């Protein structure tokens, strides 16, 4: 039986808009072999509850999203990592948070749990006290060969950057293996959201990764609205999209500039930083916050756009649009810069497909997926955004995807603000049970949120997946064969979130 057949053969749970099916443990155990035979079924994420494991899949042929669950009998469930490499870190996270072991897993080392938590399996429902012993030393994958040496970097870095440890195995100046160790930003976000109303919990979703606060806020709100059967007002939907595109614009400007700076070319960095600052100031004038944090809420948005805010945004975007051609000419015409970015940090398109990489990482390696277009959601069904896709797979390709999206996002914001619907911006939320899921396109890629509400409308279970979960392993692959000095360049071209995966 096909993997989709196995999933759809489970018991439907009434989740909206993507149905969730509960499989038997035996049917779940058959999934890995079925997934190998069905490469078009991409893994979007995995998470758990006490004694239950969940997974989300995307049928890339039809853009249908399927959710599957199964009991973890005796604290164990069948690993999906032998069939889907993107499952590896999810399985490690599930073991750390819910104390559920993936039988046959490719890698069962700890991930978020560095041995410093007072209990093991804090979300398992029965966490085990941990004696106050010295935390174990991290276990890294071995590398063998002549002249191999190790360069440890982090978790504390120079400059303002989130903490993460990078372990380089080097032969000469060439990177043989890179392994990232994250989890230093673990905040217990999922546990903090349990038992809260959706409106109260929205603040945690907005802070999963601050540079994607609009995207994650929207994904959480959309999941709540799906669970409760609530339609946000048309004005709120249009303003959500405008904020999401502004978030894409200011982040792409930031990344474009920093890629050039990491290649020792400071002028584009300075100009992109200047233009980004104008966009952020316009966002503050329009929405009262530079990053537009806490403006997207379940049921709509609050507050409404300020008087004159639209004009401030349009003026800032006009300045960005006017300077893009000159910046692009400078980027393309300096041989020293092109020598650094072209061919560097190549990501094989096969790897991008295997990990279901979204955003500029996936589209820079030819993977044609944009959640705004398919599965799609309002108001993009009427806006028809253009998907920027490159096939080069290198730093340059990822920059060019950003540049293409910059131009398109400016046009989208202009259309949204010039035809903004009138009316309310926030709908009331009923206090009732429901289950919902949402897939919203942020500047890095697709943000997946799922939750289940109890009869009182309080959060009983929740999971939020940043696109970086599926992109960090690809950075490790892309840097292999490059020199150590090119790691900052490759790292910025991916720009994965630390906080977003540390939960």
pLDDT of 219 reads 98
CATH number of the domain residue 398 falls in:
1.10.645.10
H or E, element range at 225? helix 213-228
What pLDDT, on the 0 to 100 scale, is given for residue 21? 98
Are 115 and 205 in a shared domain? no
> CA 315, CA 471: separation in Å to the nearest integer?
34
pTM: 0.97
Of 106, 126, 146, which marks where a domain is finished?
A: 126
- Answer yes or no: are the C-beta atoms of 94 and 100 closer than 8 Å: yes
Residues 112 and 200 in one domain: no
CA atoms of 81 and 85, how far apart (whole Å) = 5
Residue 498 covered by a domain: no
Q: Which domain holds residue 217?
A: 191-467
pLDDT for the residue numbered 158 = 79
pLDDT at 160: 80
On whether both 242 and 118 belong to a single domain, the answer is no
Are β-strands 148-153 and 128-129 bridged in parallel, bridged antiparallel, or unpaired? Answer: unpaired
**Do residues 204 and 304 both lie within one domain?**
yes
C-alpha–C-alpha distance, residues 81 and 118, integer Å = 29
pLDDT in tens, 243-268: 999 999 999 999 999 999 999 999 99
Please classify residue 427 by burial: count the beta carbons closer than 10 Å to its beta carbon, then call 0-12 exposed, 13-18 middle and 19+ buried: middle
At 16, which CATH number? 3.30.460.80
In a domain, 181, yes or no: no
**Residue holding tokens 């999922």?**
190
Of 82, 102, 126, the one marking the end of a domain is 126
> Do 198 and 106 reside in the same domain of the chain?
no
Considering the domain architecture, whether residues 119 and 257 belong to the same structural domain is answered as no
Tell me, yes or no, whether 222 lies in a domain.
Answer: yes
Query: Which pLDDT does position 87 carry in this prediction?
Result: 98
> CB-side exposure of 144: number of CA atoms within 13 Å?
0
In a domain, 481, yes or no: no
Furthest-apart CA pair in the chain: how many Å? 69
Task: Tell me how many domains the chain contains.
Answer: 2
Of 126, 142, 172, which marks where a domain is finished?
A: 126
Do 418 and 298 share a domain, yes or no?
Answer: yes
Are 362 and 437 members of one domain?
Answer: yes
Write out residues in the chain with pLDDT < 50, as ranges. Answer: none
d(CA 7, CA 95): 23
Q: How many angstroms separate the CA atoms of 80 and 103, rounded?
A: 9
Judgement on whether residues 222 and 347 belong to the same structural domain of the protein: yes
In a domain, 115, yes or no: yes
376 and 300 in a common domain: yes
Whether residue 185 lies inside any domain: the answer is no
Distance of alpha carbon 360 from alpha carbon 364, whole angstroms:
5
Residue 215 lies in a domain: yes
Residues 352 and 221 in one domain: yes
What pLDDT was estimated at residue 489? 95
**Structural domain contains residue 488:** no
Q: Residues 21, 95: one domain?
A: yes
């Amino acid at each position: 039986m096909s993997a989709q057949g196995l999933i759809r053969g489970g018991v439907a749970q009434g989740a909206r808009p993507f149905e969730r099916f509960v499989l038997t443990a035996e049917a779940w155990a058959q999934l890995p072999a079925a997934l190998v035979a069905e490469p078009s079924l991409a893994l979007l994420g995995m998470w758990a509850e006490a004694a239950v494991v969940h997974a989300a899949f995307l049928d890339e042929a039809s853009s249908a999203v399927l959710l599957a669950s199964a009991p973890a009998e005796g604290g164990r469930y069948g690993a999906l990592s032998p069939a889907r490499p993107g499952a590896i870190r999810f399985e490690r996270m599930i073991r750390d948070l819910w104390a559920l072991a993936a039988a046959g897993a490719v890698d069962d080392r700890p991930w978020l749990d560095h041995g410093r938590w007072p209990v093991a399996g804090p979300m398992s429902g029965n966490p085990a006290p941990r004696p106050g012993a010295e935390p174990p030393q991290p276990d890294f994958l071995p590398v063998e060969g002549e002249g191999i040496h190790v360069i440890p970097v982090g978790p504390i870095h120079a400059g303002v950057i989130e903490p993460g440890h990078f372990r380089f195995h080097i032969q000469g100046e060439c990177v043989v293996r890179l392994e990232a160790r994250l989890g230093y930003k673990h905040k217990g976000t999922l546990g903090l959201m349990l038992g809260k109303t959706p409106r109260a919990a929205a603040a945690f979703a907005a802070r999963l990764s601050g540079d994607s606060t609009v995207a994650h806020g929207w994904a959480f709100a959309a999941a709540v609205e799906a669970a409760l059967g609530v339609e946000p007002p048309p004005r709120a939907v249009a303003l959500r999209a405008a904020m999401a595109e502004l978030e894409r614009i200011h982040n792409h400007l930031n990344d474009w500039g920093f890629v050039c700076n990491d290649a020792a070319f400071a002028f584009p960095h300075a100009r992109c930083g200047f233009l980004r600052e104008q966009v952020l100031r316009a966002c503050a004038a329009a929405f009262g916050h530079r990053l537009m944090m806490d403006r997207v809420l379940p049921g709509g948005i609050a507050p409404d756009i300020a008087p004159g805010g639209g004009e401030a945004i349009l003026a800032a975007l006009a300045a960005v649009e006017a300077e893009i051609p000159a910046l692009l000419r400078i980027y393309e015409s300096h041989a020293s810069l092109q020598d650094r970015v072209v061919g560097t940090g190549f990501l094989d398109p096969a790897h991008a497909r295997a990990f279901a990489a979204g955003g500029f990482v996936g589209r820079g390696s030819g993977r044609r997926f944009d959640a705004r277009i398919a599965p799609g959601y309002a108001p993009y069904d009427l806006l028809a955004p253009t998907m920027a896709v490159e096939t080069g797979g290198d730093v340059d390709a990822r920059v060019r995807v950003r540049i293409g999206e910059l131009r398109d996002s400016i046009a989208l914001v202009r259309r949204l603000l010039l035809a903004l619907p009138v009316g309310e911006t926030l709908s009331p939320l009923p206090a009732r049970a429901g289950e919902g899921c949402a897939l919203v396109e942020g500047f890095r890629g697709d943000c997946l949120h799922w939750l289940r509400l109890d009869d009182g409308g309080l959060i009983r279970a929740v999971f939020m997946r940043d696109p970086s979960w599926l992109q960090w392993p690809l950075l490790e692959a892309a840097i292999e064969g490059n020199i150590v000095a090119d790691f900052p360049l490759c790292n910025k071209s991916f720009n994965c979130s630390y906080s977003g995966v540390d939960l």
